Amino acid sequence: QGIFVLGLPYALLHSGYGGLFLIILAAALCCYTGKILITCLYEENEDGQLIRVRDTYEDIANACCKKLSPKLGGIVVNVTQVMELIMTCILYLVVSGNLLSHSFPYVPMTEKTWSVIAFVTLLPCVFIKTLKIVSKLSQLCSLVHFIIILVVMTYCLTQIRQWSWAKFRLSIDFEDFLVSVGVIIFSYTSQIFLPTLEGNMKNPGEFRCMLNWTHFFACVLKTTFALTAFLTWGEETKEVITDNLPSFLQTLVNLCLLTKALLSYPLPFFAATEIVHACISRGNHSNYRPPLFALGVRGSFLLLTLLMAMFIPHFALLMGLTGSVTGAAMTFLLPSLFHLKLKWEKLSFLEKCADISVFILGFLCSLAGIVCSIKGLLDVLG
Which of 3-17, 208-222, 305-319 has the lowest average pLDDT? 305-319
Q: Which one-letter amino acid corresponds to residue 262?
A: L
Maximum C-alpha span of the chain: 72
Which tens digits make up the pLDDT trace of 109-143?
888 888 888 888 888 888 887 767 777 787 888 78
Three-point CA angle 16, 18, 23, nearest 5°? 105
With 0-12 / 13-18 / 19 or more C-beta atoms within 10 angstroms meaning exposed / middle / buried, residue 205 is exposed
Question: In angstroms, rounded to a whole number, what is the distance separating the alpha carbons of residues 270 and 136?
Answer: 13
Three-point CA angle 338, 270, 54, nearest 5°? 30
- First-to-last alpha carbon distance for the chain, in angstroms, is 34
**CA nearest to 319, candidates 70, 54, 22, 3:** 3
Which tens digits make up the pLDDT trace of 72-82?
888 888 888 88
Specify the DSSP class assigned to residue 31: H
Which tens digits make up the pLDDT trace of 207-243?
999 999 999 998 998 999 999 999 998 888 887 787 7
Q: Say if CB 244 and CB 237 are below 8 A apart.
A: yes
Question: In angstroms, rounded to a whole number, what is the distance separating the alpha carbons of residues 123 and 138?
Answer: 17
Q: Which one-letter amino acid corresponds to residue 200?
A: N
Q: Say if CB 253 and CB 264 are below 8 A apart.
A: no
Which tens digits make up the pLDDT trace of 45-79?
888 788 999 988 888 988 988 887 778 888 888 88
pLDDT band at 324 (very low <50, low <70, confident <90, very high): low
Report CA 155 to chain centroid distance, whole Å.
26
74-82, long-range: CB within 8 Å, 24+ apart, which pairs?
A: 77/330, 77/334, 78/275, 78/279, 80/326, 80/329, 80/330, 80/334, 81/57, 81/192, 81/271, 81/272, 81/275, 81/326, 81/330, 82/272, 82/275, 82/276
Report the 10 Å Cβ neighbour count for 140.
Answer: 13
Could you give the domains of the chain?
4-381 (1.20.1740.10)
Question: What is the model's pLDDT at position 1?
Answer: 63
Report the 10 Å Cβ neighbour count for 335.
Answer: 30
The torsion defined by the Cα of 372, 373, 378 and 380, in degrees rounded to 10, comes to: 110
Go through 99-133 and write b for each residue having 16 or more CB atoms within 10 A of its CB, e for each that does not: bbbbbeeeeeeebeebbbebbeebeebbebeeeee
Question: In angstroms, rounded to a whole number, what is the distance separating the alpha carbons of residues 355 and 221?
Answer: 27
Against a cut of 0.75, is the pTM above it? yes
Question: What is the model's pLDDT at position 143?
Answer: 84
Query: What DSSP string describes 270-310?
Result: HHHHHHHHHHHHHHTT-----HHHHHHHHHHHHHHHHHHHH
CA distances (Å), origin 183, targets 178, 215, 224, 244, 297: 9, 17, 16, 19, 29
